[in-house]
Every structure is written in C-alpha cells, then in structure tokens.
C-alpha cells in the first residue's frame, strides 16, 4: 500500500508539473467549456433569416392579404424577414446574396393573385427556395407552413381542436450549456486516459523507468494501482473545476452528488485501463500516441458528448452503442444534471463492468518481466 | 566455504533462433568487483538482467545471494537485497533528485537515508533540481545513488560510464572503488578495457554469448597478453640492421624498431650496441595490456562505442 501511494504521489506530481499534461488535462477542457458555454449559454432563442418576395401587387401596391400573411410570419418572432423586390430574379438574387458566412439565402415567394385567388376560394401555392446544405431550412419551412395553416383555418372558418403547450420534461430548466458540461468533462477524462496515460506509460517504458522500478520489490499491481489512483484523483479535480466554472460563469444547473463521484472514479479507471492496454500493446511511443488519438477522437465525437446521439445517422448510432464513453457521458448527465438516479445506476454498472475489463486487460499486457 | 554471491551454471538464453547467452558458468565471490567485459551484443546485459530477475533464463542454474532467480520466493528475496544501475539510467523527469531518490527508497521496507546518499554522492546542491535538468554525469550519479537506497549486498552496474566524458568516468570509478571498500559485491559490465583493468578484481571476457576466459587482470595478461617489448621510436633501418645481429626477433614497423624484452640483459645489449655505433633513439618498454588479451582471445578490438572492430 505504501508503495502504491509512493507511485501515486510521484506520477501525479510528474503529471502536474508537465506543461503539456496540465494543458491537455485541465486547460484544454476549460477552453472547450468556455467556448461552448459562450456559444450555447442562451435558451436557444435563435432567429432565422428569410427573404420574402411579395409578387401580389395591386394598383395600390401589395395586396392587404399578402401583407397580413407577412405580418403573421413576422409575429412568430422566429424569423428575421427581409424584403426582396418583386422585380428581382430569384436565381440571381440567391447568387448575389450568398456568402461564405451566411450561406445561401432562403427565399419565400408570394405569387401574383394571392389575394384574388383566395377570395375566389381557389388554391394558391407559395414557393420556398433553400439550399440542400442549409440545415435550418426545414425549421423555417415548418414555420411558414404553420403560418399558412393558421390562414387556412381562418379562411375555412374552422377552429383547431388540437392545441399544445410546450413544457420541459426535466424538473429543472435545462439549457444547452448544461448538456455540455458533463459531456466535455467526460470527453476529456477519456482523452486523459486514452491519450495522456498512453503517452506517459510508453515513455516510462521506452526510457526503462518501468523496468528499473520492476527490479525493486514493487509489484505490477502496486504500479498499476498507483497510476490508476492518480488518474482518478485528476478526474475528480477536473470534474470539480468544470462544475465550478459552469455554475460560476454560466449559471449552469449542474450538481455533484455521490453518483457523480462514483461514476467519475469508475470512468477514470475505465479510461486509464484503456491507456494501459494501449501502452502495453504498442511499443513505440509515437505509434501509441497515434493510436490513442485515432481511438480518442472518433469516440469523443460519436458518444453524445457534444450533441445527442439521436441526431446522428442510424449506423453511427449503432457505433455509439459500443463506445464506452457513451455510457460514461450518459451517466454523468444522469447524475450531474438530470438527477435521474435509476438511469445513473444503470450507467454506473455498465461503466464499472467495463472498468474491470479494461483495467484487467491493461494489467495483463503490462510487462513486469522481460522475455 | 560459504556459498558464492552469484553462481551461474550452464546458463543459456535464447530468443527464438538467436542464442544470446550460450552455456556460460561462473561464480562471483562476496566483496569482489567482477567485470563482464565484451562488445555490444555479446550478451552482457541479457546476463545481468537474468541475474536481476528481470528476464527468465532459457536453461541453466542461476543463484543470487543464495536464492534461485526462477523461484518466486527467491526473486522476492533477491530484489530486496540487490541494487541496480541499468544501462542509461532514467528517472521521472519532472521530479527533483531528492524526490526521485525518495521514490526509490519507498519501494523497500528498509532503506538507507536518502539525505546521507545525497551527501555521499555530492548531490547536496542539486537536491531541488529536476532530473531532466541534470547533466549526463549527474544523472548517472543519481542512478548509482538510487542503486544503493536499500543498502544492497550486491550491486549490478550495467555499463556505468558509457557516454560519460573522461573526467566524469574517473570520478565514477572512484565511487565504485569506494563501494567495494564498504564491502559491497559488485557485478560490472563494460566494454572499456581501462575500466575493467582499473576496477575489476576478476574479469570474464565475453564474446558472442560465450565466456572466453575468466581471471584476475594480471592472470589474463600473463596468460594471453604476450611478451613485453622494447620499442625504439623511429629507430630506422640502421638500428634494425644493428639489432638484427644480436636478436632473432627484431621487427621494423614504420621505422619503429621492436625487440622482445625477456630480462634486463636484453636492454643492456641493445643499448651498448647503439652507443658503439652512435645511434640514438627514443625508447620505451611496452607491457601487454588487457587490449592485447582481448585481441588475442576475440580476434578483434572494441571501439569507443563498444562495437567489435
């Protein structure tokens, strides 16, 4: 035990005194949090641009009904409307208004005879132009379509029977920043193990430090426990920093409870086990570092740490299901923001089982005796 | 007679088809400095690592401090009582000298005073310096200090001065000699002839995994070093002609005229012949050295870098 503690103290000190170690394990996640937090700390009240070309002209200018329709769109408060002259050609307008930053403009065209046809009870067709690459285009289409439906009801003299009010399922009011804090914390605990510890362990091996220690009464178990313990303490420290920043700077609703502490420790074990496994399998430090990156980065982005898994294509969702970080990040969210103890318990069990497997494999491939 | 500190009988170590250590046997007695002398790749480090319980032998019997290196309990005992300086010692870069020594000390149930070791190795003003900022010589000194943290009975020094400049090598030799004076048994590997000659009580010359011979430096030189020679620098053809009349074995290499030295009469005969003919030349008596022993046994010399030439 005293040997484990000596190893723990030494490797932790060695890590904390490394500028790159500190940068990647603390500063980098903090920068991520600040960036994501600043971008997403609002309540999602974004507006979308829409250019409108009103071609329904009468002798006295635009028809009353077409103006009412535009007014209805405006009152949704979701759209930022821009007028396009009725003489403009849509194709050339789109070309001219396109920019790298804003992308292609979305254009709604109100046809000539809009008011006249509706008055006669004849159908009219609105034309909506958008780029296929425009991810917000369907959202805007939905807004236009509900405005049109509202008009249809009025014209038909019908009263809508189904209505709904928008409520959040969580007791607390959650914002996107609340989603990111556990995600970023989890993602960087993963990189600390899979990239950071892999680098350190291969470096220790290459320089003969592990071998020199193995010539003392230190056992392989002492060595592994010392390293894993160091990772666990760093992970708790990282979690505390992220929560403090989240609450202090972004008024995030994240909290820390016993479930959080348990899953953070298990996660640290899991990812340091992965680091040990990589370091044990790959001799060359550079190859190990490359492999660590190749594993860590896809895992980081596919595990629902930065965006929900549901928005990804089906096959990537299947990939996410086998990534350990998925369950770890999920468990962190359950405990840190959702306070869903039963879901947290399930994830704790999954992460715990994976931790046993990976620490076991890591110990198996860590060589304490040469061939 | 008490059991030897190290007993090796018919040790073989194979890596696949390659035989790194090929049936070697030797003993190291308590209190001596025993040197393994040979070029890189001769099997020195492989042997040391087997003795240190870091590698399993393929076959043969190896006992260190009375314990077998293949026995689990034996290995535990050995590891407590041996000190190790590996080739190119490295410690944790961002820990200080003192922190690193304390780390090594913490690996043992009973350890020496780190503070005393720091003084003994002249590291007092470096205690707070991080390992990465030390010079090569100082790193090596920390390595030797680390090998003594458990008050070992037996110390393995694997190439302790490789890569160090001459002054620091001499200082390191001083340290190693002091260790012997304090009663430590030392197993040293080296490819430096002068190091083996300076330090070792007994030398095993190892070539291609086999021990060519074992003995004290004096024994080896007497047995394999060849004869003493008298060398006349730039004696030239006239001296060669003169000496040829008195000696059978005269040689002339690039103007240096050489005759064998058997006793002082050879010198008297040569000098009087030279005086008679008014020939003057600078003279030296060349005694055979370990280099000559090695050349004779191995058929090659070893470069500064440890390669066979």
The confidence score (pLDDT) of residue A170 equals 54
Among A356, A352, A333, residue whose Cα is nearest residue A344: A333
Task: Decide if pLDDT at A292 tops 90.
Answer: yes
Q: Which of these ranges, A82-91, A100-109, B133-142, has the smallest mean pLDDT?
A: A100-109
From chain A, pick out residues whose CB is under 8 angstroms from the CB of B94: 13-14, 17-18
Task: Decide if pLDDT at A104 tops 80.
Answer: no
Q: Would you say the CATH fold of B227-287 matches that of B6-223?
A: no
The confidence score (pLDDT) of residue A172 equals 58
pLDDT in tens, B194-208: 999 999 999 999 999
Q: Which of these ranges, A214-228, A289-303, B137-151, B246-260, has the smallest mean pLDDT?
A: B246-260
In whole angstroms, what is the distance from residue A26 CA to residue A188 CA? 8
In whole angstroms, what is the distance from residue A340 CA to residue B279 CA? 107
Interface test with A, best of B90, B128, B130 (most A CBs within 10 A): B90
**Bridge partners (DSSP) listed for residue B33:** B186
Task: Decide if pLDDT at A166 tops 70.
Answer: no
And the tokens for A223? 């060595």
B92/A213 CB distance under 8 A: no
- State mean pLDDT over A191-207: 92
Q: Establish how many alpha carbons lie within 13 A of residue A247's alpha carbon, considering only the half-sphere containing its beta carbon.
A: 11
Look over chain B and give the mean of its residue pLDDT values, rounded to a whole number.
93
State which H helix or E strand residue B173 sits in. helix B166-181
- State mean pLDDT over A245-274: 92
- State mean pLDDT over B51-71: 96
The confidence score (pLDDT) of residue A360 equals 95
The confidence score (pLDDT) of residue A90 equals 85
Among B5, B22, B25, B17, residue whose Cα is nearest residue B214: B25
Nearest-neighbour CA in chain A from B38: distance (Å):
22
Query: What is the percent of chain B where pLDDT is above 70?
Result: 99
In whole angstroms, what is the distance from residue A352 CA to residue A358 CA? 10
Minimum CA–CA partner of B53 in chain A: A215
What value does the CA radius of gyration of chain A take, rounded to a whole number of Å?
28
Distance of CA A164 to the CA centre of its chain: 29
More confident residue, B226 or B69: B69
Confidence label for A176 from pLDDT (cuts 50, 70 and 90): confident
The angle formed by the CA atoms of residues B136, B140 and B142, to the nearest 5 degrees, is 115
A213/B52 CB distance under 8 A: no
Confidence label for B267 from pLDDT (cuts 50, 70 and 90): confident
Interface test with B, best of A5, A7, A10, A199 (most B CBs within 10 A): A10
From chain B, pick out residues whose CB is under 8 angstroms from the CB of A7: 103
Nearest-neighbour CA in chain B from A328: distance (Å):
32
Among A96, A104, A109, A111, residue whose Cα is nearest residue A144: A109
Distance of CA B209 to the CA centre of its chain: 16
Q: How far is CA B189 from CA B50, B91, B158, B185, B203, in A?
A: 13, 21, 5, 13, 10
The CATH class, in words, for B227-287 is: alpha beta
Domain borders along chain B are 6-223, 227-287
In whole angstroms, what is the distance from residue A269 CA to residue A351 CA? 9
From chain B, pick out residues whose CB is under 8 angstroms from the CB of A213: 107
- Chain B contact for A172 (CB, 8 A cutoff): no
pLDDT in tens, B146-197: 999 999 999 999 999 988 888 889 989 999 999 999 999 999 999 999 999 9
- Chain B contact for A216 (CB, 8 A cutoff): yes
pLDDT in tens, A31-71: 988 888 777 765 555 678 899 999 998 888 888 889 989 98
Residue A206 CB partners (closer than 8 Å, separation 6+):
A283, A284, A285
Interface test with B, best of A201, A215, A230 (most B CBs within 10 A): A215
Q: Which of these ranges, A138-152, B58-72, B141-155, has the smallest mean pLDDT?
A: A138-152
**Confidence (pTM):** 0.80
- State mean pLDDT over B104-127: 94
Token match 């890189």: residue?
B40
A215/B86 CB distance under 8 A: yes
For B6-223, CATH gives 3.40.50.300
In whole angstroms, what is the distance from residue B188 CA to residue B37 CA? 8
Token match 């190091």: residue?
B195
User: What interhelical angle do B217-224 and B290-298 show, nearest 10?
Assistant: 60
The confidence score (pLDDT) of residue A39 equals 77
Distance of CA B111 to the CA centre of its chain: 28
More confident residue, A366 or A173: A366
B76/A217 CB distance under 8 A: yes
């Amino acid at each position: 035990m005293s040997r484990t503690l000596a190893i723990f103290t030494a490797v932790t000190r060695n890590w904390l005194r490394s500028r790159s170690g500190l940068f990647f394990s603390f500063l980098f996640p903090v920068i991520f949090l600040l960036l994501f937090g600043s971008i997403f700390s609002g309540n999602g009240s974004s507006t979308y641009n829409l250019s409108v070309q009103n071609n329904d002209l009468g002798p006295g200018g635009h028809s009353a009904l077409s103006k009412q329709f535009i007014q209805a769109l405006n009152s949704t408060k979701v759209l930022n409307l821009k007028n396009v002259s009725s003489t403009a050609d849509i194709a050339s307008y789109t070309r001219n208004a396109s920019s790298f930053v804003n992308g292609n403009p979305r254009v709604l065209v109100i046809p000539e005879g809009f008011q006249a046809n509706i008055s006669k009870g004849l159908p009219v067709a609105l034309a909506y132009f958008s780029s296929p690459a425009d991810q917000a285009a369907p959202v805007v289409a939905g807004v236009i379509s509900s405005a049109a439906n509202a008009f249809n009801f009025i014209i038909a003299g019908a009263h809508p029977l189904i209505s709904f009010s928008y409520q959040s399922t969580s007791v607390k009011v959650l914002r996107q920043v609340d989603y990111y804090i556990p995600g970023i914390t989890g993602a960087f605990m993963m990189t600390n193990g899979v990239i950071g510890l892999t680098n350190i362990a291969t470096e220790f091996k290459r320089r003969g430090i592990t071998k020199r220690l193995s010539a003392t009464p230190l056992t392989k178990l002492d060595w592994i426990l010392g390293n894993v313990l160091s990772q666990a303490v760093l992970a708790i420290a990282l979690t505390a920093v992220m929560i403090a920043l989240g609450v202090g700077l972004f008024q995030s609703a994240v909290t820390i409870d016993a479930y959080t502490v348990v899953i953070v420790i298990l996660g640290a074990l899991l990812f340091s086990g992965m680091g040990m496994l990589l370091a044990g399998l790959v001799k060359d430090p550079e190859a190990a570092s490359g492999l660590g990156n190749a594993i860590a980065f896809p895992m980081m982005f596919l595990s629902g740490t930065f965006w929900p898994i549901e928005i990804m294509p089906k096959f990537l969702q299947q990939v996410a299901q086998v990534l350990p970080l998925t369950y770890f990040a999920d468990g962190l969210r359950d405990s840190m923001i959702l306070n869903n103890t039963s879901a947290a318990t399930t994830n704790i069990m999954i992460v715990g089982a994976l931790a046993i497997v990976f620490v076991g494999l890591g110990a198996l491939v860590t060589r304490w005796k040469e061939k | 007679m008490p059991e030897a500190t190290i007993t090796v009988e018919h040790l073989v170590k194979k890596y696949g088809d390659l035989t790194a250590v090929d049936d070697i046997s030797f003993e190291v007695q308590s209190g001596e400095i025993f040197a393994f002398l040979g070029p890189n790749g001769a099997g020195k480090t492989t042997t040391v690592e087997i003795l240190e319980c870091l590698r399993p032998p393929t076959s043969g019997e190896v006992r260190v401090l009375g314990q077998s290196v293949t026995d689990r309990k034996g290995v535990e005992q050995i590891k407590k009582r041996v000190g190790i300086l590996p080739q190119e010692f490295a410690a944790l870069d961002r820990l200080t000298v003192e922190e690193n020594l304390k780390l090594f000390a913490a690996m043992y149930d009973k350890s020496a005073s780190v503070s005393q070791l720091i003084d003994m190795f002249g590291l007092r003003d470096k205690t707070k310096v991080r390992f990465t900022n030390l010079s090569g010589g100082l790193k090596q000194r920390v390595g030797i200090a680390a090998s003594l943290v458990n008050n070992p009975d037996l110390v393995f020094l694997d190439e302790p001065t490789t890569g160090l400049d001459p002054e620091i090598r001499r200082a390191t030799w001083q340290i190693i000699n002091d260790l012997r004076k304090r009663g430590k048994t030392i197993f040293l590997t080296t490819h430096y002839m002068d190091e083996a000659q300076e330090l070792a009580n007994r030398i095993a010359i190892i070539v291609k995994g086999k021990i060519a011979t074992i003995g004290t430096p004096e024994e080896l030189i007497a047995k394999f070093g060849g004869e003493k020679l008298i060398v006349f620098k730039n004696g030239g053809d006239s001296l060669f002609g003169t000496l040829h009349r008195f000696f059978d074995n005269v040689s002339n290499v690039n103007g240096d005229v050489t005759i064998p030295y058997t006793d002082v009469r050879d010198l008297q005969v040569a000098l009087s012949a030279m005086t008679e003919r008014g020939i003057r030349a600078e003279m030296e008596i060349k005694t055979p050295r370990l280099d000559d022993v090695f050349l004779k046994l191995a058929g090659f010399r070893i470069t500064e870098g440890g390669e066979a030439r």
